[in-house]
Structure formats: structure tokens, C-alpha cells
Structure 1
Amino acid sequence: MSKRKGLSLEEKRDKMVELLQEAAEFFTLKELEKIAPKRKGIVFQSVKEVLQSLVDDGMVSSDKCGVQTVFWCLPSEAVQKKRARVAVLEEEVKSNEAASERLESQLAAMKAARTGRDLEGDNGRDAFLKQLASDEQAVAALTAQVAEQAASDPERLRELATATTTAREAANRWTDNVDTLRRYVSDKFGMDSADFARQFGVPADMEYLEETAAPHDAQADAPG
């Protein structure tokens, strides 16, 4: 034969309440430990635990009577306690729902603010890098033109040399700005240079453009 399954704690609680309501009397712990196993199948060892849990939840009343503690649960009183308990739980539910709504609203606001900052940062970064690339390309193109025109047009050479210097200085300013931003991110967030370059799309070979020696004026070098 299969062994009889024991009662769960909730089943014991329900049966203890039934016992007290059916009797509509006052009982000591010892009395309940004697009758609960016989009437409701609640084992002797768990009677005290079950009673205490019911008292803690306000479903069973208890009071000192001399040196003894008595327990009771009258039907009408049980109904009132259940109604009071339901009212308390309903208030807790309302409070939790209100708190949940506040938290969801705060979370939505934080996400919106973060998205805005991310978009602003992305747009600014993209424009920054595009301008840098454009200046570097201009320097390269002007340098090539200087080399081509050096031997034949000294005036053009001087114009291109001036434009090259201006473009190189602009490119180096952008490079300096990137380096300043890298140091700021490193100090504030502990990000190393490699991670910075990877996260912000900075070219690994980006460096300051050095001034190159200008080609000699062909006419000036020609023998007199």
C-alpha cells in the first residue's frame, strides 16, 4: 500500500481554522495538540507552528489567560478578519501599482534622455570625423598640386603652399580636438586609446601632419 501523503502547510492552516470555528470555543496549545491530530489529521509536531502562522496573519486570535495562552476563531470574527485582511491587501496592491507606474515613467524618461544624448553624441562625432577626413584629403590634394606646379609656376606655388599650410593647420586642430576628447574619455571613463579609437571610429593611423619642405623655386635656382 502507498504511504499516505501528509498535509501541506496551507491545508493544515485551513483545517485548524475549521476546527476552531466548528467548536467556537477557547483552546490552549496543549488541548489543540491533543485534538487536532484526531479531528483534522494535523500532526502533533506542527500544531504550534500552524497556530503561530495563523495568529501572525490575524486569522486566529490569542490572548493570555493566567499562565496559559488561549486560541480561538469564531465564525463571525473570522469573516471580519478576512474582510479586513482583504482590505489591507487591496491597499497594498494599489500602492504597488502606483509605485510601478512611477518607476515605469522614470525609466521611460531616462531611456528618452539617454537616447537623445546618444543621438547627439553620434551626430557630433560623425560630423567631427567627416570634417577631419575632408581636411586631410585637402592637404593631400594640395600637396600633390604643389609638387606638380613647382617647376613651372612660382606664383601658383606660393598660393598652393599657403593653402596647404592653412589646410594642414585645420587638420591638426581637428586632430588635437580628437586627442583632447580621447584624454577626457580616458580620465572620466577609464577607456584606453585602442577602445576609444574602436568605439568612436577614429582611424588607427591618425597623427599630426608635419610640415614638408617646400620645393625650390625653379626660377630662383636657375643660373643667372
Structure 2
Amino acid sequence: MSSVQAQLPQHDAPMTVKDVLQSLVDDNMVDSERVGTSNYYWAFPSKALHARQHKLEELQKQISEAKQRKDTLQKVVEKAKVGRQDTKERSSLLKELQSLREERTQLKAELEKYRECDPEVVEEMRKSNIVAKEAVSRWTDNVFAIKSWTKKKFAFDDSRINKAFGIPEDFDYMD
């Protein structure tokens, strides 16, 4: 067995031996075991060596995997470069592609301007107008029902009810 040296954090109050040992156990630098009423602590030099070797193997494995990914990506890049050499034909095709994209954008903008004349959009607007008119009629029915109930319950005339609830004098069903 050997003694383990560790750098201890600087605190205002000195750490007790128990705190130091617990810190070393938490860091896996020292092993501990409770036997009866006693706690035994130990550290073998080979454990630290084994831990470093394990970490080294893990890092080497990560390096190997990263090199394989790098090689794979380089092959993909090389494969992608095939047929993309800068030639006059390629550059003219790229310019044509760019101009076609711009033209498509302009055509989409122009189409959007005339969207309201699209038969599908017009039909959708007609349907939504029908639904809106039905809703207006329902609410108008509700207002007239409340006015009728208020007249019967409190014996108010129409002008007084309209004034109290902010109902215009020309309130009526939509045509």
C-alpha cells in the first residue's frame, strides 16, 4: 500500500482527515470498506495506473473514430467534387439557374397579387361570408329576444332599452 497525495482545496477552516478521505473516495482515488464498526481506507498504486491506462485507451478509441469520420467525410467531399469542376458550361448553367430562381420568385409574387381572383379563394370567401351572415342573424335574434324579455319583465319601451344597451335605433336584420 502507498500513501496518496492530493491537492486539497483551500478553505477558511482546515479540512478534517475524515473530509479529506471522503473527498478522495468520491474522486475514486481511494477505496473504502466498512468492517464492523471501523472504516478501512486503502489505495494501490496499480489502481491509479490502471485508471490512466483505461482513460488512455478510451481517448485513443475516440481519436480512431474521429479519424474514420474525417476520412469518410473527405471521401464524400471528393465524390461531391466530381462533375463540379469550374468550366464555362457549369458557370453558364449556374447563372441560368440563378436567373430562373429570380424569375420564379417574381412570378410567385405576381401570382400572389392575383390570388383574390382565384376561383378556389373566391369560393372559400363565399362560404365564409355565408357563415358570417348566419352568425350575424343569430346574434340579432339574441338581441331581439333580450329586448323582448326586458320589455315584458320591466315594462320598458324600445327607446329606453336601446339607449341603456347602446343599441342603434336603426338596428335590424341584414339583407
TM range (shorter): 0.3 to 0.5
Q: TM-score normalised to the size of structure 1?
A: 0.32
Q: TM-score normalised to the size of structure 2?
A: 0.39
Question: Greater share of helix residues, 1 or 2?
Answer: 1
